[in-house]
């Protein structure tokens, strides 16, 4: 289940697309994964994290599909719902019962739009053929107040400082008097 959730979190793929993933869709050398679309969407290729690659490598390869121990998407969904219910009860947090696989897809699209403000990129990320289907994610980002243009700014002079800022998610803006300026959304 953790692998399925991490896959959705990193790719924003639908649960049906995750369920159908085959071992041949994963390239461990380049750490990429190919998503075969459903719902007449477009196919996509994603870079995956080292964490997800390791999780996949640790799974038993008992069939052609990565999640071959689940017979159907319904079995996968019921297992998730059972675990979600147990965790909600254990933590005393009934709001957890509102989380679904599709919630993670919404989260991925919303956060990517917040980071990039690149609508065509989000359409491509989700595999939508019709951009109108993607508008709800942009709307959600605005509703949550994630549509601000406030930045944290930093300067760097040495290669080590530049590397640290880039690794922390800062983007290069300009250079003046030998000083490089970087910014990152708040």
Region 62-82: mean pLDDT is: 93
Q: Which domain covers residue 155, as residue numbers?
A: 151-185
Q: How does residue 64 score in pLDDT terms, banded at 50, 70 and 90?
A: very high
pLDDT at 77: 94
Do 80 and 167 have their domain in common? Answer: no
pTM for this model (two decimals): 0.72
Considering 21-35, 109-123, 140-154, the range whose residues carry the highest mean pLDDT is 21-35
Alpha carbon distances (Å) from 130 to 39, 45, 108? 12, 19, 18
- Residue where the block lists tokens 């053929």: 129
Do 44 and 95 have their domain in common? Answer: yes
Do 71 and 118 have their domain in common? Answer: yes
Do 129 and 174 have their domain in common? Answer: no
Do 137 and 70 have their domain in common? Answer: yes
How far is Cα of residue 168 from the mean position of the Cα atoms in its chain?
Answer: 18
C-alpha to C-alpha distance for 130 and 117, rounded to whole angstroms:
18
Do 9 and 36 have their domain in common? Answer: yes
What value does the mean pLDDT of the chain take? 88
Do 97 and 21 have their domain in common? Answer: yes
The percentage of the chain sitting over the pLDDT mark of 70, rounded to a whole number, equals 93
Do 131 and 160 have their domain in common? Answer: no
Task: State both tokens at 24.
Answer: 């041949």
CA dihedral for 96, 99, 105, 107, sign (positive or negative): negative
Do 157 and 132 have their domain in common? Answer: no
Do 127 and 174 have their domain in common? Answer: no
Q: How many separate domains does the chain show? A: 2
CATH of the domain at 135: 1.10.443.10
Region 152-179: mean pLDDT is: 88
Residue 26 has pLDDT above 90, yes or no: yes
Residue 147 has pLDDT above 60, yes or no: no
Q: How does residue 146 score in pLDDT terms, banded at 50, 70 and 90?
A: low
- Residue where the block lists tokens 């003046």: 176
Residue 165 has pLDDT above 60, yes or no: yes
Pairing of strands 151-156, 179-185: antiparallel
Closest among 137, 139, 129, 7 to 76, alpha carbons compared: 7
Residue 142 has pLDDT above 70, yes or no: no
pLDDT at 10: 93
19 backbone dihedrals φ, ψ, rounded to 5°: -60, -35
Do 52 and 116 have their domain in common? Answer: yes
| Residue 65 and residue 20 in contact, taking contact as beta carbons nearer than 8 Å | yes
Which residue intervals of 21-174 are DSSP H helices? 50-58, 73-91, 101-116, 119-126, 135-143, 159-167
| Residue 137 and residue 147 in contact, taking contact as beta carbons nearer than 8 Å | no
Region 35-41: mean pLDDT is: 84
Do 122 and 176 have their domain in common? Answer: no
């Amino acid at each position: 289940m953790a692998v399925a959730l991490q896959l959705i979190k990193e790719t924003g793929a639908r649960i049906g697309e995750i369920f159908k993933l085959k071992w041949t869709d994963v390239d461990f050398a380049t750490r990429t994964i190919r998503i075969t679309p459903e719902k007449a969407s477009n196919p996509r290729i994603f870079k995956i994290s080292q964490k997800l690659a390791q999780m996949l490598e640790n799974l038993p390869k008992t069939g052609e599909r990565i999640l071959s121990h689940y017979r159907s998407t319904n079995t996968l969904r019921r297992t998730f719902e059972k675990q979600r219910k147990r965790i909600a009860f254990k933590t005393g947090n009934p709001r957890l019962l509102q989380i679904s696989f599709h919630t993670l897809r919404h989260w991925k699209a919303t956060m990517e739009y917040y980071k990039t403000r690149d609508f065509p990129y989000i359409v491509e990320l989700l595999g939508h053929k019709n951009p109108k289907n993607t508008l709800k994610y942009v709307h959600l980002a605005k509703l949550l107040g994630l549509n601000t243009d406030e930045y944290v700014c930093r300067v760097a002079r040495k290669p080590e400082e530049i590397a640290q800022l880039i690794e922390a998610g800062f983007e290069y803006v300009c250079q003046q008097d030998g000083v490089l300026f970087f910014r990152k959304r708040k």
